[in-house]
Structure 1
């Protein structure tokens, strides 16, 4: 059985150390066999939740020139915060 998607998103970011949101989204979509705008936006929402909850840190931002989401969006580069790392370790998800 696969891990729930949101904790797996945290694990992927830990493995990469830092990554743009569209890179994380593509990795998760590929791993779970999902596709489409719906899933891209759901994953983007989860990343926003994880950032506002202090688990992800935004380390860079830029205009979505490649139009992964759309031309009027901002894409974010994330890293896992110390709190995010502690959370993964606490729940033995590392």
Structure 2
């Protein structure tokens, strides 16, 4: 699922975290808080690992996760793009 998350961002360009989560969970038939927060955790990992860039952050009005939680808009980094290329060649 984590690899597919990277592919989704690579294919779709800049996206909000909740947009990526909705797409990923729908594809895998998953739902609920556990999966939503797990995918958010993966995004943090991918950002810390240099695969994702955070291009914008704003406070949630309560319609996505919870009022006051931070929403992130991500883009894939050049390093992330190179990594995707390597994975697809293998």
Using the size of structure 1 for normalisation, the TM-score is: 0.91
- Aligned pair count? 89
1:22 matched to 2:18:
yes
Higher helix share: 2
Q: Report the RMSD for the aligned CA atoms in angstroms.
A: 1.1
The aligned counterpart of 2:4 is 8
Stretches of structure 2 lacking an aligned partner (at least 5 in a row): none
1:89 matched to 2:85:
yes
Among 66, 70, 73, which residue is 1:70 paired with? 66
Off by >4 Å, runs of 4+ in structure 1: none
Superposed CA offset, 1:31-87 (max 9, x none): 000000110000000000000000000000110114311113100000000000000
Using the size of structure 2 for normalisation, the TM-score is: 0.95
Instruction: Determine the C-alpha separation between the residues in 2 that align with 1:67 and 1:52.
Output: 26
Stretches of structure 1 lacking an aligned partner (at least 5 in a row): none
